[in-house]
Amino acid sequence: MGNDWDKAVDSLSKIKVFSNPNNKSVTISDVPNDMKCIGVGTDAAVFQSMSTPAYAFKVYAKDKVNKVKVEANVYEILGDSPFFPTCFASYGNFLVLSYEEGKTLFDCLLQGIHIPETVVNEVEQARGYVREKGLNPRDIHLKNILLQNGKAKIIDVSEYIQPGNDFRWEHLKKGYEQYYHLIDRKSVPFWLVETIRKLYNEQGKQSSYEEFTKLISKLFYKK
């Protein structure tokens, strides 16, 4: 007996995903009309099929397909958890995941949607759960956390086997605690969020939270 998602495999095989240098998002082409791109990252793009909308298909770039089995294994170790999607299967270049409703915290900032403190607390709980499973909760940021019915859902686990702490979540959490009340329920311009995101990727990872916030302050108060 076949699986529901089998009917999407033919369309998925037509999609081309290309990685780009300097940690830029992938480029996609040849997307069939019955497939919709719902997200892009630096290694893969995520699609939803009109015929099987309950699933999300994470298609990796050709030179990144070695990560498919790695991520599938991470999902297997994580098991059934309310903090993460379900991984149903892995193929040569894509994963079959549960489609998760909700807006990313990145989009919440842009649209002025309130991000409750419970979401921050749930991400902390999820990180603890990941460690209990012997994995490393890295690469947790605004674009891979969904606000789903007032709760947190983390939608990218691909780096959880890598060592070291990238401090991305710790810095975001401090920023939430110290500054979120200033912008809560206010739409933040895209250019502003993108400027801070790019600056963090270029310089924030090499500096402390305090140094980075000083840098941001200088940037916006230099006039």
What does the pLDDT look like over 47-89, one tens digit per residue? 999 999 999 999 999 999 999 999 999 999 999 999 999 999 9
Report the phi/psi class of residue 159: left, alpha or beta, with left for phi > 0 and alpha for psi in -120 to 50: alpha
Amino acid at 108: C
CA distance linking residue 166 with residue 174, whole number of Å: 14
Q: What pLDDT is stored for residue 197 in this prediction?
A: 85
Indicate the residue type of 200.
Y
Tokens at residue 101, please? 């409703």
Report pLDDT digits (tens) over 163-198.
999 899 999 999 999 999 999 999 999 999 988 888
Determine the average pLDDT of the residues in 100-126. Answer: 97
CA distance 26 to 37: 12
Tell me which residue of 182, 130, 175 sits closest to 152, measured CA to CA. 130
Residue-level pLDDT at 1: 37
Asked if 6-98 and 103-221 have one fold, the answer is no
> Where exactly are the structural domains of the chain?
6-98, 103-221
Domain topology for 6-98: Phosphorylase Kinase; domain 1 (3.30.200)
Output the CATH code of domain 103-221. 1.10.510
Residues 40-67, buried b or exposed e (16+ Cβ, 10 A)?
bbebbbbbbbeebeebbbbbbbeebbeb
Separation of alpha carbons 134 and 129, rounded Å: 9
Following DSSP, what letter does each residue of 43-94 receive, concatenated? SEEEEEESS-TTEEEEEEPGGGTHHHHHHHHHHHHH-S-TTSPPEEEE-SSE
Burial (CB count within 10 angstroms: exposed 0-12, middle 13-18, buried 19+), residue 177: exposed
Using one digit for the tens of pLDDT, what is the confidence trace for 6-54? Answer: 999 999 999 999 999 988 899 999 999 999 999 999 999 999 999 999 9
Structure tokens at 197: 């995101």
